[in-house]
Amino acid sequence: MAHLSGDNTKLIQRVRRLKGQLEGIERMLVDGEDCYKILQNTAACRGALNSLTRQLMEEHIVHHIEQEASASEPIKAASRDLREILHSYLK
């Protein structure tokens, strides 16, 4: 399986932001912060992880299916439909 399309910078930045969010949660736990605030931050982390997942899946579908030289128009159309459906499922 070929690799991700060229420049992963945006994906890497996303992962680093997620790590930063987790570091924030770690500090709050060490400081004995209120669990309500920690749960709010965990919910934000979950949203960020879903967006990362969505982008990775999009890249997989575009790079390995839609941009394949042999991909016919019906395959490309089905692939675009699938990306749209996944977008609504991985909010």
Does 52 engage in binding with a copy of itself (CB under 8 A)? yes
Rounded Cα gap, residues 87 and 13, in angstroms: 21
Q: How wide is the angle at C-alpha 39 spanned by C-alphas 52 and 24, nearest 5°?
A: 65
Look up tokens 């949203």; give the residue: 47
Does 51 engage in binding with a copy of itself (CB under 8 A)? no
Output the smallest distance, CB 87 to a copy of itself, in A: 10
Nearest alpha carbon to residue 61 among 86, 36, 37: 86
What would the x/- binding string for a copy of itself be over residues 14 to 33, using CB under 8 A? -xx-xx--xx-xx--xx-xx
Rounded Cα gap, residues 46 and 16, in angstroms: 14
What residues make contact with a copy of itself under the rule CB under 8 A? Answer: 1-4, 8, 11-12, 15-16, 18-19, 22-23, 25-26, 29-30, 32-36, 38-40, 42-43, 45-46, 49-50, 52-53, 56-57, 59-61, 63-65, 68, 70-72, 74-75, 77-79, 81-82, 84-86, 88-91
